[in-house]
């Protein structure tokens, strides 16, 4: 996909955090979060890779040879997040951890009553 990705009328959606329009506070800037994944390490893959690297002598050479022999999955996506829009107010007041929790639990996406 080319970068920057154009933003069209059909891409407009409410802020995924407060549920209001992305320009509700008269700000003309907002954030589009693209391709955020929450991952967890797979210990088996890490152990396997490390073992192969050590078998081939360690260092850069060992890593290169281990990669050539096998390339196991080192982490798995646990919470895939599709493209989301965030108003500027929420983008500046929300931590990344809070954002991940909000977009991964649909019940928390209810609009702010104020």
Q: What DSSP string runs through 52-105?
A: HHHHTTSHHHHHHHHHHH-----EEEEEEE--EEEEHHHHHH--HHHHHHHHH-
- pLDDT truncated to tens, each residue of the chain (114 aa)? 556 778 888 888 999 889 999 888 888 888 888 777 777 888 888 888 888 888 888 888 888 887 787 777 778 877 667 788 999 999 999 998 888 877 776 544 455 555
Peptide bond into 44 cis (omega under 30): no
Number of domains in the chain: 2
87, 76: one domain: no
Q: For the beta carbon of residue 86, count every other beta carbon within 10 angstroms.
A: 21
Residues 55 and 43 in one domain: yes
Residue 113 lies in a domain: no
Residue numbers of the domain that contains 51: 38-80
CA nearest neighbour of 15 among 25, 5, 7: 25
The answer to whether residues 43 and 64 belong to one domain is: yes
């Amino acid at each position: 996909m080319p970068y920057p990705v154009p933003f069209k009328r059909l891409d407009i959606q409410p802020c995924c955090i407060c549920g209001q329009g992305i320009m509700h506070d008269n700000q003309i800037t907002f954030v589009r979060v693209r391709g955020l994944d929450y991952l967890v390490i797979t210990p088996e893959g890490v152990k396997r890779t490390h073992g192969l690297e050590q078998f081939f002598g360690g260092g850069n050479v060992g890593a290169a040879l281990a990669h050539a022999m096998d390339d196991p999955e080192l982490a798995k996506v646990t919470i895939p997040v599709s493209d989301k829009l965030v108003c500027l107010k929420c983008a500046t007041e929300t931590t990344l951890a809070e954002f991940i929790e909000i977009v991964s639990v649909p019940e928390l996406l209810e609009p702010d009553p104020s």
